[in-house]
Chain A
Amino acid sequence: MAFNASKKAFTLAPTLRSLPNGVPAAPLLNLNAKAAPGGHHDHHSGVLGPRADTAPRWAGGVSTGPSGLVSKTIVGSPRVSLFQQRTMHTSAVAKEAPQVPDYTPYRASNTSTNRAFSYFMVGSLGVLSASFAKSTVSEFLVTMAASADVLALAKVEVELASIPEGKNVVIKWRGKPVFIRHRTQSEIEEARKENWKTFRDPQSDEDRTKKPEWLIMLGVCTHLGCVPIGEAGDFGGWFCPCHGSHYDISGRTRKGPAPLNLEVPEYSFNDADGKVVIG
């Protein structure tokens, strides 16, 4: 924008901007006047170059036009070097005060519903986790148990009518011998009149038999696993030939190194068929 020097009245926006050479941008001030030759810049030894402190040509200047002397001052001159316009940027705009958006539409109208829902979801996860943990443990333990087909084959039936009174029968059950003794009445009385509380492995004859005439137990010596001999030993029961353990007529250890009574397996009587089912 150029104007004639004859136009006096002029209003410009106040500015605090400095020009790149450090001169304040004062539009009405003519800073383009040349210094007089031979002035106080004389010590420059006659070099009459342009003054170093004058405004550049793009800021305006004095010229002679057809209507006389014209002084031009260009306002809003292009910004250079130190003043860069950034058309794209990611920096946050500096604000006078932090402006918080209005979150009211997002706020829950009733917080107790949200609270109950949160607890419910946490509790549901707990329910699933507890159920999962329980089934993990129980399924792992089930793998240790014998399967149903093994258990079905692991039973032995013995016809009791074929065993006369006062006789032993040895059968094989799960790879181990099982003694079945059809005891006489006198043997039962002998087994029951003993003071079993003083024995090494105190156990009453009533605990070891379901029916007093039938004594059923594993034929494995509790000392080191030999098979005792029936109707032998000091107590009229069993005698282990390996290390001399004596068992009485109820299979209880009475003498020798055996620490425990002969083990009684699980069994049940089938009265209708007259059989005993071991296992």
Chain B
Amino acid sequence: MAFSTTIYNAVFRRNSVYVSTIFVGAFGFAVGYDKAVTAVWDRWNAGKQWKDIRHKYVTEGGSEDDE
């Protein structure tokens, strides 16, 4: 059986399965999109954010007035 027929029978044939797949896919898409955009942002602003320079100012266990 061809791939298209397989996926049609698995997902598209029943509307309940189809809509559920769409919602699950929307959730996954949102997570993936968020991760991708965050990764791009972090790469673009590498070395500028607090999490990148925190180690210069905060020493672990020290009683510095951090944050």
Contacts and interface: CB of A to CB of B under 8 A. Distances in A.
Interface stretch (B1-9, B49-57, B58-66): B1-9
Contact of A113 (B4, B12, B29, B33): B4
Query: At the interface, is chain B mostly helix, strand, loop or mixed?
Result: helix
A115 interface: yes
A57 interface: no
A116 interface: yes
Which of B4, B8, B21, B29 is packed against the most chain A CB atoms within 10 Å? B4
Contacts of B18: 119, 123
Nearest to A118: B12
Please tell me the size bucket of the interface on A. Answer: 10 to 19
Interface string A23-53: 0000000000000000000000000000000
Interface in A114-150: 115-117, 119-120, 123, 126-128, 130-131, 134-135
A136 to B, nearest CB: 12
Contact of A130 (B4, B12, B23, B33): B23
B46 interface: no
16 contacts: A112-B8, A116-B3, A116-B4, A116-B5, A120-B7, A123-B18, A123-B22, A123-B25, A126-B22, A126-B26, A127-B22, A127-B26, A127-B29, A131-B29, A131-B30, A134-B30
Interface of B: 2-5, 7-8, 11-12, 18-19, 21-23, 25-27, 29-30, 33
